[in-house]
Amino acid sequence: MFVLFQLRLVRTCLVLLAICLPFAAHAGSLSLQDALQTIRQNDLKLRQFQRLSQAYSSEAEAADYLPEPVLFAGIQNLPTDTFDLDQEPMTQLRMGLRQMFPKGDSLAIKSDLASLNADMQDFARNAYWLSLKRDAEQAWLEAWYWQKRLSLLIDDRRFLDQVLNFTQSLYEVGAKDQSAVLGAELALYKLQDTEIEARKQLRRFKQELDRLAQQPLADLSLSEELPNLDPLGAAQAAVGEFEAYFLAHPSIAILNQKIALSETKTGLLEQDFEPAWGLEVSYGLRDGTQPDGSERADFFSAGLSVQLPFFSRGQKQQSQQAETQRTSAAMLARDEALQDLRFRFSSVQQQYRNTTEQRELYEASILPTLSKQRQSALQSYESDKGTVQSVMDVFLAEQAAKAMHQRLRVDELKHLSALHYFLGFDSEADPE
């Protein structure tokens, strides 16, 4: 019994651990993947697209059925002098059934139209998720930049505090004048102003993440490291090599679907030139006897009706021509969207290359040089060969370079995020 109790206790602990681990992972920091997962789970519009797709799928199944038959019953040729059912030989109780048959293949075509609309909702859902994902990535990366900016400013504050303390000590012994102290204090005040602006921007982009996630995320700090957005060769390859991605992009798929819808509607209009058929069968019950004493026979009737498009042919031809023009316009809209997608991809691709080249320059040359220059200026100031202003100038230049380096790192990933959007990467939008 004791062993069984221990096993149950271990199993309970494991279950609790499995439940708590995801929350523990989110409690300290918010990674980009965590943010995207939360946004996908909470976004209601994704579910709207899914419900609409299911609705059109149901309509597609419902459309492929014949219209309901019509049952009818009546009394015919009833004499008005006596209202006797057996007085006249033509008096009968008539019951029957009428059934209409739609023109041509109109039922199947209407079912196809509903199926195309269902597929369009799926493409629209994917296109919406791509756009939402790109906006979330841009907001997260911007928030990360300002969080990193604050971290750098805290390090810079320590350096300025050291310079200010050292300058004050020299001023107290008469080795420096008051202007040196004031210069160090002013640099510290400017740094505090920059911190205020950085916190404001960080709050702004975290609130944007809150809006996209539809739940508060602003209290969480972001991951320390930037995510690894795999470029998949998108930066170096020629635009023409990605033509298959452009053609498969959800926004282009929507336009292709509109073309297919318009062509299907044209096919439906063509069915208007086909005749509509109707079938009617009835049975007449008679009472009474014939002059020879035999019972009167019942009547059976059957008929076929045909609706011929004689007088509306011209109107139907104009409607068909109008839908053909709409199909042509939809094709032009798709070609325009494809061309725009290619040009926008090419533009962002070039921006990505330029940003990468600039970042590498900062890492290889600018930042190391400024670091050495700051150390040299500080040594000169400490040995009374330089001024506090020279130290501040080099410090501010290095501070701006560090901020620029982080900006380039973030912009590089933002460009990659945009390239992924244009190529339609991760377009699966299933929130459930």
Single-letter code of the amino acid located at 199:
R
Would you say residue 18 has pLDDT above 60? no
Q: How confident is the model at residue 180 (pLDDT cuts 50, 70, 90)?
A: confident
Taken as a whole, the chain contains a residue count of 432
Q: What is the pLDDT of residue 340?
A: 95
Between residues 20 and 342, the one the model is more confident about: 342
Q: What is the pLDDT of residue 431?
A: 39
Q: Please tell me the distance from the alpha carbon of residue 66 to that of residue 56, in angstroms, as a whole number.
A: 18
Query: Where do the domains of the chain lie?
Result: 31-74+96-423
Q: Which residues lie below 8 Å from residue 425, measured CB to CB, with a gap of 6+?
A: 232
Q: Cα Rg for the chain, rounded, in angstroms?
A: 39
CA 26, 32, 36, 42 dihedral sign is positive
Would you say residue 428 has pLDDT above 50? no
The third-level CATH classification (topology) of the domain covering 31-74+96-423 is Outer membrane efflux proteins (OEP) (1.20.1600)
DSSP state of 301: E
Q: What is the pLDDT of residue 308?
A: 78
89-105 average pLDDT score: 87
Q: How confident is the model at residue 97 (pLDDT cuts 50, 70, 90)?
A: very high
Would you say residue 255 has pLDDT above 90? yes
Element (H, E) at 307: strand 299-307
Q: Which residue has the tokens 């293949």?
A: 105
64-79 average pLDDT score: 87
CA dihedral 153, 155, 158, 162 (to 10 degrees): -110
Q: Please tell me the distance from the alpha carbon of residue 113 to that of residue 257, in angstroms, as a whole number.
A: 10
Between residues 107 and 238, the one the model is more confident about: 107
Q: What is the pLDDT of residue 311?
A: 66
Q: What is the pLDDT of residue 26?
A: 42
The gap from C-alpha 82 to its chain's centroid, in whole angstroms, comes to: 76
Q: What is the pLDDT of residues 124-161, one digit of tens each?
A: 999 999 999 999 999 999 999 999 999 888 888 887 77
Q: Which residue has the tokens 């452009």?
A: 246
DSSP state of 114: H
Q: What is the pLDDT of residue 101?
A: 86
| Residue 30: both structure tokens together | 């918010």
Q: How confident is the model at residue 430 (pLDDT cuts 50, 70, 90)?
A: very low
Q: What is the pLDDT of residue 23?
A: 35
The answer to whether the beta carbons of residues 156 and 399 sit under 8 Å apart is: yes
Single-letter code of the amino acid located at 321:
Q
In terms of Cα–Cα distance, which of 249, 279, 258, 142 is closest to 198? 142
88-101 average pLDDT score: 88
Q: What is the pLDDT of residue 248?
A: 92
- Range name among 98-102, 179-183, 272-276 with the lowest pLDDT average: 179-183
Q: Model-level pTM? A: 0.78
Q: What is the pLDDT of residue 365?
A: 95
Would you say residue 198 has pLDDT above 80? yes
State the number of CA atoms in the 13 A half-sphere of 191 facing the CB: 23
Q: What is the pLDDT of residue 71?
A: 93
Average pLDDT of the residues of the chain: 83
Would you say residue 12 has pLDDT above 70? no
Q: Which residues lie below 8 Å from residue 126, measured CB to CB, with a gap of 6+?
A: 250, 253, 424, 427, 428, 429
Q: What is the pLDDT of residue 176?
A: 64
256-270, 276-290, 356-370: range with highest mean pLDDT: 356-370
Q: What is the pLDDT of residues 297-354, one digit of tens each?
A: 888 999 998 887 776 667 777 887 888 888 899 999 999 999 999 999 999 999 999 9
Q: Please tell me the distance from the alpha carbon of residue 302 to that of residue 282, in angstroms, as a whole number.
A: 6
Between residues 5 and 275, the one the model is more confident about: 275
* Full DSSP string of 33-62: HHHHHHHHHH-HHHHHHHHHHHHHHHHHHH
Q: Residue 100: beta bridge partners?
A: 278
Q: What is the pLDDT of residue 236?
A: 67
From residue 165, alpha-carbon distances to 195, 285, 401 in Å are: 21, 117, 25
Would you say residue 9 has pLDDT above 60? no
Q: What is the pLDDT of residue 143?
A: 94
Long-range contact pairs involving 360-367 (C-beta distance under 8 Å, separation at least 24): 362/401, 362/404, 362/405, 362/408, 363/405, 366/401, 366/405, 367/398, 367/401, 367/402, 367/405
Q: Please tell me the distance from the alpha carbon of residue 216 to that of residue 209, in angstroms, as a whole number.
A: 8
Q: What is the pLDDT of residues 400-411, one digit of tens each?
A: 899 999 999 999
Would you say residue 232 has pLDDT above 70? no
Number of Cβ within a 10 Å radius of residue 156: 21
Q: Please tell me the distance from the alpha carbon of residue 32 to that of residue 40, in angstroms, as a whole number.
A: 12
In terms of Cα–Cα distance, which of 365, 407, 357 is closest to 236? 357
Q: What is the pLDDT of residue 220?
A: 80
